[in-house]
Structure 1
Amino acid sequence: MTRLSRYLAKVFAVETAALFAVAAFLLYLIQCLRSFSVVAVKGQDVFTLLGQALLTMPTLGVVFLYVCAGIGLARGLRALQASQELHIIHASRRVPALVGAIGLFAGGWALVVLLLANFVEPVTNRQFNDWAASVAADLVSRTLTPNRFVEVVPGVTMLIGGRGAEGELTNFFADDNRNPAMRRTYLARTATVAADEQGYVLQLRDGAIQHMSADKRFSEVAFARYDMALERLTGPAEAREALGEMNSIDLVRRALAGGNWDRDTIRQLSRRLGEGLRVIAICLFVAAIAAFPHGRRTAREIPLEIVVLAAAFVERGLSSSLLPATPYDPIPGALLLAAGSTAALLARLRVFAPRRQRAAPA
């Protein structure tokens, strides 16, 4: 690695790190605003709000970091173009050093994204879900008052007849009308908040679940005991994604031990590996369009930031909707972008052009 390559890679990395820091701070503020119900509705302190918003940042970072890498590389190349350094690099035949710097930059940021997607994100997902479960348990145990209707979250109303000596809830009633297509009512003689390997659950005994559809069809299911995750009443009614809380090494070990590579495991691994491939693809795209000097006036050019965002949008569209759905959904779009960008880059570098023979001196 030459001194010029290290200098250029540093220029690109500084531009990307500055952009990523600004974008991460703005997204963190947005996440705090989106999670403000933790303080306003669920009665938690501001540290819970800030902590839960922070745990969502690795997931968001994986999504937008490759765009920051593309824009950072574009800005660095544009600065080299403005200072005439890009012209000097090509005129002095130092293009291999420029290509090496772009490769070092792309590989470094791809490694960062892979570490976030494969190891950091699963840990923060698990911690966030555990924290949300504890908030739900605290909400139910603290806000319910005997013989008083309490709206624990918008759309969910609960009522208890009393509390036992060991925290047992009697004459439990909960009405969940958040889903317009299906209204659910839970009735139980007793209820207890407990914890298992999946988190906090509400153990209902001797009761029934009543369903009311949008067309007023009524159904009821009686039970002797029914364990329900508290998140179904205090948050989005979605089950925890176990695969999303496991790092990639554990996923591979689990698949090898069971001898079964199921579709969900393959999709999870391909999504994580595809994020690193996206960084390589977007950097190749930027190199193909901005790594060559020109004499055009910058006032008439389309901003490179918009071009990079458009390329990322097209790549996402190819991966998610236009190509046939497979367990490898995140990868085809990035591969197509990388292949097209590589072909354009090699063509502009004249790799396949025949070299002219110099005439021998007389």
Structure 2
Amino acid sequence: MNRLSTYLLKLFAAEATGLFGVALTIIYLAQTLRIIDIDTVRERGLGVLFWQTILAVPQLAIAFLYTCIAIGLARALRGMQASRELHTIHVSQLVPSLFRAVLIYAGLGMVLVLLLSHVIEPAAKRATNMLQAQAAADLVGRSLVPNRFAELGEGVTVTVGGRGPRGEITSFFADDNRDPNTRRTYIADSALISSDELGYVLQLEKGTIQYRTADGQFSEISFDRYDIALERLTGEVDDEKRRRDLGTLAMVNEAIAEGEWPEEWVNRIAERSADGLRVVALCLFVVAIGGFPSGRRRDPLVPIELTVLAAVLVERAMTSYVPIGGWQQHFMGVLVLLVIALVILSARLRLFLPQPRGAHSG
């Protein structure tokens, strides 16, 4: 990489880093304001609050990161347009150095986004789920006072007959009426708060689960042992799904070991991988519309930053609403944007490429 490419790469990175720093600060403050009002983190100390706000950042940071990478490149190219550096690069036939810098910049950005999507964000989710499970265990432990009804959350009421010296619970009863369509009642002779590989669970022994529908239908299931995740009693309405926030490598290893690829995992891996390709598509789109000199003395009516944001929104809309199912859906908007960028780039390169020295008009 020559000096010009190095200079341009630093210029692009500086713009993107500044934008992402501002976005990251806004994300962190917003997450702090949201989490500080959640009951599960109250009375648990500032250290837990600080750590939980940090863990909430990666999921939102992914979208901001690839957007800031594209806008950073756009701002740098706009500045080069204003300072006539872009004109000098084209006149001096140094366009390969410009594109080399853009491709390296896009490649580094893609690696950062893929690392964030495939590794950091799943790890942050697992840590967040563990904190929530610990908070749920603390809440349940404090609420289970013998012969007294306690409300774990809106719509969930529990009571127990007694507590043993090792934490054993006798005569457990819980009523869950959060779901307007189904009311659940858990009754067990004994219970114990324990943990498994997914978090904290309430182990119910010798009891029944009673279901009552809104139209009065009743059903009952008996069990010798039933494990219920504590988050199902303290969180939102139960959707019968346990946490599966695995990293991509863990998914691949487990799928290879079992010889089966769950559709949910394939879709999740495709979604994470599309984030990286989105960086390349956006960078090529930006250089296609802003990497060539213009003779205009006035700024364009629509700033290039707004054009990039519009491209991001249109691409996300196409990805979300394209009538194609399966893992292919996550790549449709990105591929359309990539094709548009390559078409514009090819047309402008043909226009701006210098004529051969021996060429002349008849």
CA distance in 2 between counterparts of 1:323 and 1:70 reads 27
CA distance in 1 between counterparts of 2:73 and 2:215 reads 56
Give the C-alpha shift of residue 155 in structure 1. Answer: 3.0
- Aligned CA RMSD, in angstroms, stands at 2.4
CA contact (8 A) 2:285 2:341 kept: yes
Q: What does 1:40-119 correspond to in 2, within 5 Å? A: 43-119=43-119
Amino acid at match of 1:34: R
CA contact (8 A) 2:86 2:293 kept: yes
Query: In the alignment, is residue 6 of structure 1 matched against residue 16 of structure 2?
Result: no
CA contact (8 A) 1:203 1:227 kept: yes
Query: In the alignment, is residue 245 of structure 1 matched against residue 246 of structure 2?
Result: yes
CA distance in 1 between counterparts of 2:357 and 2:147 reads 96
Amino acid at match of 1:240: R
Give the C-alpha shift of residue 266 in structure 1. Answer: 2.1
Q: More displaced, 106-115 or 33-42?
A: 33-42
Q: Judging changes above 3 Å, is the alpha-carbon distance between structure 1 residues 240 and 58 closer, same or farther for their aligned structure 2 residues?
A: farther
Give the C-alpha shift of residue 351 in structure 1. Answer: 7.5
Give the C-alpha shift of residue 100 in structure 1. Answer: 1.1
Match in the other structure for 2:310: 310
Q: Secondary structure at the match of 1:349?
A: helix
CA distance in 1 between counterparts of 2:101 and 2:323 reads 33
Match in the other structure for 1:131: 131
| Same amino acid, percent of matched pairs | 47
Aligned length: 358
Q: More displaced, 14-23 or 37-46?
A: 37-46
CA distance in 1 between counterparts of 2:217 and 2:36 reads 36
CA distance in 1 between counterparts of 2:104 and 2:300 reads 31
Query: In the alignment, is residue 226 of structure 1 matched against residue 226 of structure 2?
Result: yes
CA contact (8 A) 2:198 2:243 kept: no
CA contact (8 A) 1:271 1:328 kept: no
Give the C-alpha shift of residue 38 in structure 1. Answer: 4.3
Q: More displaced, 34-43 or 172-181?
A: 34-43
Q: Secondary structure at the match of 2:294?
A: coil
Q: More displaced, 151-160 or 63-72?
A: 151-160
Q: More displaced, 74-83 or 319-328?
A: 319-328
Structure 1 unpaired stretches of 5+: none
CA distance in 1 between counterparts of 2:88 and 2:55 reads 45
Q: More displaced, 350-359 or 138-147?
A: 350-359
CA distance in 1 between counterparts of 2:188 and 2:79 reads 68
Q: Secondary structure at the match of 2:242?
A: coil
CA distance in 1 between counterparts of 2:154 and 2:18 reads 39
Match in the other structure for 1:177: 177
Match in the other structure for 1:31: 31
Q: Judging changes above 3 Å, is the alpha-carbon distance between structure 1 residues 203 and 258 closer, same or farther for their aligned structure 2 residues?
A: closer
CA distance in 1 between counterparts of 2:142 and 2:181 reads 30
Q: What does 1:258-269 correspond to in 2, within 5 Å? A: 258-269=258-269
Query: In the alignment, is residue 143 of structure 1 matched against residue 143 of structure 2?
Result: yes
CA distance in 2 between counterparts of 1:63 and 1:217 reads 46
Query: TM-score if structure 1 supplies the norm length?
Result: 0.90
Give the C-alpha shift of residue 157 in structure 1. Answer: 2.3
Q: Secondary structure at the match of 2:350?
A: coil
CA distance in 2 between counterparts of 1:95 and 1:358 reads 21
Q: Secondary structure at the match of 2:327?
A: coil
Amino acid at match of 2:264: D
Q: Secondary structure at the match of 1:179?
A: coil
Give the C-alpha shift of residue 298 in structure 1. Answer: 4.7
Query: TM-score if structure 2 supplies the norm length?
Result: 0.90
CA contact (8 A) 1:285 1:341 kept: yes
Match in the other structure for 1:168: 168
Amino acid at match of 2:203: Q
Query: In the alignment, is residue 349 of structure 1 matched against residue 342 of structure 2?
Result: no
CA distance in 1 between counterparts of 2:30 and 2:82 reads 35
Match in the other structure for 1:194: 194
Which deviations, in whole Å up to 9, do the C-alpha atoms of 1:209-264 show, x marking residues without a partner? 2223333433332333211011101123353343x323x33333323333333323
Q: Judging changes above 3 Å, is the alpha-carbon distance between structure 1 residues 224 and 298 closer, same or farther for their aligned structure 2 residues?
A: farther
CA distance in 2 between counterparts of 1:92 and 1:354 reads 10
CA contact (8 A) 1:41 1:153 kept: no
Which deviations, in whole Å up to 9, do the C-alpha atoms of 1:60-101 show, x marking residues without a partner? 222321111111111111111122211222222221111111
Which deviations, in whole Å up to 9, do the C-alpha atoms of 1:298-325 show, x marking residues without a partner? 5552122222121111111222221401
CA contact (8 A) 2:159 2:174 kept: yes
Q: Judging changes above 3 Å, is the alpha-carbon distance between structure 1 residues 359 and 333 closer, same or farther for their aligned structure 2 residues?
A: closer
CA contact (8 A) 1:136 1:234 kept: yes
